[in-house]
Structure 1
Amino acid sequence: MKTQLRFASLALAMMLASGIATAADIKVGVSMSQFDDTFLTYLREDMDKQAKSYPEGDGVQLQFEDARADVVKQLSQVENFISQKVDAMVVNPVDTASTARITKAATEAGIPLVYVNRRPDQAKLPKGVVAVFSEDVEAGKLQMQYLADKLGGKGKVVILLGDLANNSTTNRTKGVKEILAKYPDIEIEQEQTGIWLRDKGMTLVNDWLTQGREFNAVIANNDEMAIGAAMALKTAGVKSGTVLIGGIDGTPDGLNAITKGEMTVSVFQDAKGQAIGSVEAARKMARNEPVEQNVVVPFKLITPDNVKDFK
């Protein structure tokens, strides 16, 4: 009887093992710089949808972790993924200048690594590491050129910067200033960081208005700060459209603000495109399939004339 039980147990174990083997989804650890960032929320949701789109047993299981804007915490999450022996990792870096240790840990462990949305600052990534991103300099150029044309090439502008540790901030602002260099009659009145947040954008613009500063346009590194600027101007009794407001990302709230005339322009950053690109790259690398090392997802200008195409 005991022998029969042992055989039954063994048969059950083999069946279970067989079942697990046929459902061998690729396990991918994902460290996001912060969950409460609006654009990154859309990116995370689209990554989850992409992972679930593959057939059962040939798909991807994502394990999301929130680094809470902490470089040390993000490195710890990567080290935990490595100890769990995940098949691949996707990292949205907290600080693009501090990714060397993450890259080193992944390559030494032989685990494929995909950077998404924010490309590390280093010029060349090592083998086994890829980046899926959009060219932020181009976003700044598209945004500022449209506003410079609307301003007729003259006036005063204020710039709301994103997180200063993020190369998206540096590059978007670089793009803005490359366009401004062609327009000597457009002057930068103020330039401060709103760290990507709506309430910080609102506070900064409100402070500038209280100080009596005059400006014809607000150039924001993202839609959230642009919306905050629009809220501050509205509270101060400034009529919509009097001060031009530009954002970047093309979030649903940003699109609505353009539709209502509260924002002048935005630049669409394709969260879905970045999500598909990063999950697909991780999946291919885990299966030893070839991938491009730099996958660039293009930006697109959003104006009142074409905003409906992005909804």
Structure 2
Amino acid sequence: MKPSLRIASLALSILFASGAALADVNIGVSMSQFDDTYLTYLRESMNDKAKTYPEGVKLQFEDARADVVKQLSQVENFISQKVDAIIVNPVDTATTNRITNAAVAAGIPLVYVNRRPDNPDLPQGVATVASDDLEAGRMQMQYLAEKMGGKGNIVILLGDLANNSTTNRTKGVKEVLTKYPDIKIAQEQTGAWLRDKAMTLTNDWITQGQAFDAVVSNNDEMAIGAAMALKQAGVAQGKVLIAGVDGTEDGVRAVEKGNLTLSVFQDATGQANGSVETALKMIKKEPYEQAVWVPFQRITLDNVNQYKK
């Protein structure tokens, strides 16, 4: 074979080999639950990212239905199927050790997305792609504190108590409150990320005669639920300030209409892209960042048009 033909043949073989390698990539993805607005955006964005690879990358999604045991079983099934990598949006950030240990023992790259395990000391072969939830809480409360003139009562709607997103967003809120001693927490209860539950909680507080000047919610869904309860009770729009997190389509629309004072945008596309890209780097044994941070952004009436879809 002539040298030129040999080189061309080698180049083609490398091209086809790399294409086949990507085409054969199968990534198992366990989501804590499908029935969640933000996580639906995250899942859809991951799927969109996989489709951008011409050779094709297959994502196999499973719904853990907020069940720790079910999620571990899904990961074990992925390992049995010999997937190339695993992406997990954990149900309970305090109980991820068994997932981590199983993936590491099998030699399969593992990426946690959106929620970081409580234990930040992860072994090689395990990465995280998330946003700093402390910062989300700080951004919410700082804006509200200034709007409140540094005084008044707030209520806090907590997410799922098994998630460190709940813990850290609330911690960020309370960090800011140390600078504002005249702002008091009147109530603090979990709405479990759900609009209906938050609406019921807020309605109960109103019925009980609890006075509050602002609602600080760990996500947009609960913030919208609070806004609905206040409207139903005849409270004038804007009298009670309301802050959410995620910047979902409904959340952005609520800010635009004045039903929410602000939301903090959590970039589902950024987290999705980062998780798939990191998994592929790990599969191909390329250098990767073990902790990828996707920044939050504040949404108010002043900039809401930038976030409309």
Q: Indicate the TM-score class for this superposition, using the shorter chain for normalisation.
A: over 0.9
Residue 263 of structure 1 corresponds to which residue in structure 2? 260
- Shift of the alpha carbon at 1:123? 2.2
- Shift of the alpha carbon at 1:223? 0.2
Residue 44 of structure 1 corresponds to which residue in structure 2? 43
RMSD, aligned CA? 1.2
Q: Is the 8 A contact 1:60 1:283 kept in 2?
A: no
- For residues 74-105 of structure 1, the C-alpha deviation after alignment (integer angstroms, 9 at most, x for no partner) is 00000000000000000000000000000000
> Which of 158, 170, 173 lines up with 1:173 in the alignment?
170
Q: Distance in 2 between matches of 1:101 and 1:65?
A: 18
Matched, 1:151 2:148: yes
Distance 1:237 1:41, change over 3 A: same
The within-5 A match list for 1:126-275 is 126-275=123-272
Q: Distance in 1 between matches of 2:256 and 2:198?
A: 20
Q: Distance in 1 between matches of 2:128 and 2:221?
A: 25
Matched, 1:298 2:292: no
Give the aligned residue type for 2:41. Answer: Y
> Which of 297, 305, 310 lines up with 2:307 in the alignment?
310
The within-5 A match list for 1:87-106 is 87-106=84-103
- Shift of the alpha carbon at 1:22? 7.4
- Shift of the alpha carbon at 1:25? 2.9
Q: Distance in 2 between matches of 1:275 and 1:217?
A: 32
Q: Give 3-state SS (helix, strand or coil) of 2:245's partner.
A: coil
- For residues 177-220 of structure 1, the C-alpha deviation after alignment (integer angstroms, 9 at most, x for no partner) is 00011101001000000000000110000000000110000000
Residue 35 of structure 1 corresponds to which residue in structure 2? 34
Q: Distance in 2 between matches of 1:239 and 1:256?
A: 18
Give the aligned residue type for 2:40. Answer: T
> Which runs of 5 or more structure 1 residues have no equivalent in the other structure?
1-17
Query: TM-score, structure 1 length as denominator?
Result: 0.92
Q: Give 3-state SS (helix, strand or coil) of 1:152's partner.
A: coil
Q: Give 3-state SS (helix, strand or coil) of 1:247's partner.
A: strand
Give the aligned residue type for 1:130. Answer: A
Residue 13 of structure 1 corresponds to which residue in structure 2? none
Q: Distance in 1 between matches of 2:155 and 2:269?
A: 30
Matched, 1:78 2:75: yes
Give the aligned residue type for 1:260. Answer: K
Q: Distance in 1 between matches of 2:45 and 2:20?
A: 27
Q: Is the 8 A contact 1:79 1:105 kept in 2?
A: yes
- Shift of the alpha carbon at 1:289? 1.1
- Shift of the alpha carbon at 1:109? 0.1
